[in-house]
């Protein structure tokens, strides 16, 4: 290995060790302050909306892995440069490492709820990284030709010393990184919560078409399969004892509720389909669950909103992330709630434990605040929520849409009798009244609908099909309970949700 390559590697290894140390320390304090994650989160917040859309569309739920990976690759390239700089002078290389970590520290501090404690992981990363770099550089064989390492024990300790140093540091990185991961997942593990029964339960859940139509989306989405969309790279650590939900702003009186306060109120249980505004036509960012929660109205009544001039509920999560919800829609009689349960369990950490907002008929980015801690009654003129600052719509009802689940786009299926099937949703617009399928540009044929679980819930549908050999184009559209037809006009997710008709191509052989 050339000397340059060797030193570049020193920079990389030292940085990995530093990052791992920072991750470990962060796992004990605030996981989001871990250097690479802090930089990643800042990148998310700074990413222009079109690029974010593109990333969500192309990497899907993996967009965060891709993001953290890219940040890491960028950091390691700079780390290699830092290693090379040590050939000139150790202080230059160490200096670059410190600058890198300072960027991470600044990123950690820029989070809305950050305190100076959030600098600790970065400081740990800097100290460990520089120490590791020093060890490696000292252990490097001295290339001055007329001296052997034995004659110059102060600097080069020879090949063996270098191998020991590299091996020890690599092992330390793996152990620290692994321990950090484990501690974080331990601290964000689901808590055991006994949820009371609903005072106002949902009707018996009808059996869907799950067993009848192979390949169709389950009528109820299991918690583990539910799509997840949020701006976080780590899960927040929320202790039930320390958590509360406050209602403030333009209200008669500020009120706060502990988790037990919420459970002591009358709970409703409702079947509601959630949809993300980033869901493209035919996309997977939609899920349906049975939610248990306190009616939003009951909470707002405790605060008193009879005289309010507010037009939005600005909700805040444990980290200061904000979501705005139009007050008139949230209080128009629909089953808006602060949910504490999802499909018979406490909310999973990914989906907002201990409590989140759910408002039927509104896209998640203007209604479904996870890890909620505050609802401030205010006006759009006065305060902007996270996505409002990024030019997304504030008034965003979910658009009527339908999706083909089976057959899969571009798949090859056997000729003969088969079934085309999928789901359609028209939350709070009377539900789905009709679904139609078009085969190869022919007429629209009416599909059969699965059972209804209420107008806020999606509906499964299917159409038997005698598939003949060749290539076929299948399209689907829905009509809602108000006789509104799904539009063929294409719209991108930005700024208020996609529209258009899904059309797929399959090969029958
Ligand atoms: N605190 C917080 N709540 C949030 C978000 C977020 O980024 N942070 N994302 C919202 C968006 S865009 C959607 S679509 C839903 C998704 O909820 P889910 O992840 O439980 O499916 O959560 C909403 N609530
Ligand atoms: Mo979303």
As a whole number of Å, the end-to-end CA separation of the chain is: 56
Residue nearest to atom 9 of ligand 1 (CA): 230
> Which pLDDT does position 113 carry in this prediction?
86
> Which pLDDT does position 152 carry in this prediction?
46
pLDDT (tens digit per residue) in 293-328: 999 999 999 999 999 999 999 999 999 999 999 999
CATH superfamily for domain 223-390: Oxidoreductase, molybdopterin-binding domain (3.90.420.10)
CA angle 458, 463, 469 (to 5 degrees): 135
Within 10 Å of residue 495's Cβ, how many Cβ atoms? 15
Q: Is the beta carbon of 227 within 6 A of some atom in ligand 1?
A: yes
Residue nearest to atom 4 of ligand 1 (CA): 369
Nearest ligand 1 atom, CA 275: 14
Q: Is the beta carbon of 231 within 6 A of some atom in ligand 1?
A: yes
- b/e per residue 21-36 (b: at least 16 CB within 10 A): bbbbbbbebbbbbbbb
Residues (pLDDT < 50) of the chain are 144-156
Give the closest ligand to the alpha carbon of residue 273. Answer: 1
Mutual orientation of helices 35-46 and 3-28 as an angle, nearest 10°?
A: 90
Centroid of ligand 1 to alpha carbon of 338 (angstroms) = 14
Omega before 354 within 30 of 0, i.e. cis: yes
Nearest ligand 1 atom, CA 232: 7
> Which pLDDT does position 493 carry in this prediction?
92
Q: What is the pTM of this model?
A: 0.91
Fold of 401-508: Immunoglobulin-like (2.60.40)
Domain ranges of the chain: 3-187, 223-390, 401-508
Residue 215: phi and psi, rounded to 5, are: 90, -5
The length of the chain in residues reads 509
Strand partners, 460: 423
> Which pLDDT does position 47 carry in this prediction?
86
- Choose which residue among 277, 289, 368 to substitute to test ligand 1 binding: the one with the highest number of ligand atoms within 8 A of its C-beta: 368
Centroid of ligand 2 to alpha carbon of 499 (angstroms) = 15
Residue 65: phi and psi, rounded to 5, are: -65, -45
Radius of gyration (Cα) for the chain, nearest Å? 28
Q: 223-390 and 401-508: same fold?
A: no
Q: Is the beta carbon of 229 within 6 A of some atom in ligand 1?
A: yes
DSSP secondary structure string for all residues of 192-205: P--PPPPSBPPPPP
> Which pLDDT does position 192 carry in this prediction?
82
Nearest ligand 1 atom, CA 227: 21
> Which pLDDT does position 1 carry in this prediction?
64
Within 10 Å of residue 243's Cβ, how many Cβ atoms? 18
CA pair distance 60, 468, nearest whole angstrom: 33
> Which pLDDT does position 147 carry in this prediction?
44
Strands 401-406 and 356-358: unpaired
Could you tell me the sign of the dihedral formed by the alpha carbons of 31, 33, 35, 38, in that order? positive
Residue nearest to atom 19 of ligand 1 (CA): 228
Within 10 Å of residue 13's Cβ, how many Cβ atoms? 23
Q: What is the mean pLDDT of the chain?
A: 93
């Amino acid at each position: 290995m050339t000397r340059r390559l060797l030193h570049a590697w020193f920079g990389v290894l030292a940085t990995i060790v530093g990052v791992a140390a920072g991750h470990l320390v962060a796992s004990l304090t605030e996981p989001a302050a871990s250097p690479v994650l802090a930089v990643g989160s800042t990148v998310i917040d700074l990413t222009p909306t079109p690029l974010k859309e593109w990333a969500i569309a192309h990497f899907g739920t993996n967009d965060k892995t891709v993001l953290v990976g890219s940040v890491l690759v960028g950091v390691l390239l700079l780390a290699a440069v830092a290693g090379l700089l040590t050939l000139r002078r150790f202080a230059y290389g160490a200096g670059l490492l410190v600058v890198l970590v300072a960027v991470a520290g600044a990123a950690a501090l820029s989070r809305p709820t950050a305190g100076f404690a959030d600098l600790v992981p970065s400081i740990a990363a800097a100290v460990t990284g520089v120490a590791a770099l020093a060890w490696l550089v000292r252990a490097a064989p001295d290339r001055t030709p007329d001296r052997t390492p034995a004659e110059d024990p102060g600097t080069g300790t020879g090949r063996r010393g270098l191998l020991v140093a590299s091996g020890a540091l690599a092992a330390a990185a793996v152990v620290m990184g692994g321990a950090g991961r484990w501690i974080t997942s331990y601290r964000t593990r689901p808590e055991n919560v006994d949820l009371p029964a609903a005072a106002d339960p949902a009707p018996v859940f009808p059996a869907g078409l799950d067993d009848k139509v192979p390949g169709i989306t389950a009528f109820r989405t299991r918690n583990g399969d539910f799509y997840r969309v949020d701006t976080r790279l780590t899960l927040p650590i929320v202790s039930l004892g320390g958590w509360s939900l406050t209602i403030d702003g333009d209200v008669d009186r500020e009120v706060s509720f502990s988790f037990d306060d919420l459970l002591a109120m009358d709970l409703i249980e409702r079947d509601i389909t959630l949809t993300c505004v980033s869901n493209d036509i035919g996309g997977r960012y939609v899920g349906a669950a049975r939610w248990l929660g306190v009616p939003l109205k009951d909470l707002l009544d405790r605060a008193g909103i009879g005289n309010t001039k507010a037009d939005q509920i600005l909700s805040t999560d444990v980290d200061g992330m904000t979501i705005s919800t139009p007050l008139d829609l949230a209080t128009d009689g629909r089953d808006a709630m602060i949910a504490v349960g999802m499909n018979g369990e406490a909310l999973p950490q990914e989906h907002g434990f201990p409590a989140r907002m759910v408002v039927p008929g509104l896209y998640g980015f203007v209604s479904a605040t996870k890890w909620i801690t505050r609802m401030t009654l205010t006006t759009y003129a006065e305060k902007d929520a996270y996505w409002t600052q990024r030019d997304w719509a504030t008034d965003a009802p979910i658009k009527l849409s339908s999706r083909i689940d089976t057959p899969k786009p571009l798949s090859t299926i056997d000729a003969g009798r088969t079934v085309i099937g999928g789901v359609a949703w028209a939350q709070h617009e009377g539900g789905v009244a009709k679904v139609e399928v078009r085969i190869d540009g022919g007429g629209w044929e009416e599909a059969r609908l699965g059972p209804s679980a209420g107008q806020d819930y999606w509906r499964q549908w299917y159409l038997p099909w005698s598939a003949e050999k060749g290539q076929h184009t299948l399209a689907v559209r829905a009509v809602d309970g108000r006789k509104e037809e799904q539009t063929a006009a294409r719209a991108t997710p930005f700024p208020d949700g996609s529209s258009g008709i899904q059309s797929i191509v399959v090969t029958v052989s």
